[in-house]
A = this chain, B = another copy of it.
């Protein structure tokens, strides 16, 4: 790990990667703009460093950079990811002015996006023991996408496939809410067109995954739907409308979480977590 370089001028171009982080049009994580991956905080920055995304720089308070050095000293993957990466040491005031808000966590790192693997590459990369994957359609809320990746990682879901209408999984808020797990869990876009979607799911089925579409509009319970399945792909849709008919027709089976009368459906990330749990254990 390099030695931190103090930067005291908020206008210094070396801090451009973390400038205007909340700006609706200039923010550096916009795919149409710089399209950077932005990780924040002591927990997530090391996860970025250990991920497949090449780190560009780290900006932080002196004691946060010191803590990062300690983490890297104990984790060769983190150390490798930070090898040769410039570290900029800033005060809280300078970072607040650059980022546009008070980043009390005091540590932020950026990385370049890398080319997304194909669905097939992601599925090829799954270990032989993997039993559950996730398939999303129309999950357009960044917080829900982030929570979904957090739940997927925690419950041992090997990969996430994204269908049409899903929010950008590398948006800064997703990285944060997922606690960095979106950087570690392999994902790929299945493709929005009906043919690519069906082909993607057919590929899953050919690999032995039972594709289970989560929807309140069926009599079959989740427990019934996953019973006896060796491998399960848990498919969830947008909050509100849920999965499209088109998506559900490509599934092997529909499944509901039995809900109490007079209640609403659960949040999509919570429903998915229950689906992952039921499929896994």
Q: Chain A interface (Cβ within 8 Å of chain B)? A: 43, 147, 150-151, 153-156, 179, 181, 221-223, 257-260, 263-267, 269-270, 273-274, 277-278, 280-281
Contact = CB atoms under 8 A, between A and B. Distances in A.
A179 B222 CA distance: 24
Contact of A260 (B43, B154, B263): B154
A181 B261 CA distance: 12
Given A155-B266, A179-B264, 9 more contacts: A43-B264, A151-B266, A151-B270, A153-B260, A153-B263, A155-B259, A257-B277, A258-B281, A269-B270
Contacts of A221: 281
A154 B274 contact: no
A107 to B, nearest CB: 17
3 A-B pairs closest in CB distance: A156-B260, A154-B263, A153-B263
A224 to B, nearest CB: 10
Nearest to A261: B156
A150 B260 CA distance: 11
Contact of A270 (B43, B179, B258, B270): B270
24 contacts: A147-B267, A150-B264, A150-B266, A150-B267, A151-B266, A151-B270, A153-B260, A153-B263, A154-B259, A154-B260, A154-B265, A155-B257, A155-B259, A156-B258, A156-B259, A181-B263, A221-B281, A222-B281, A223-B281, A258-B280, A258-B281, A266-B273, A269-B270, A273-B274
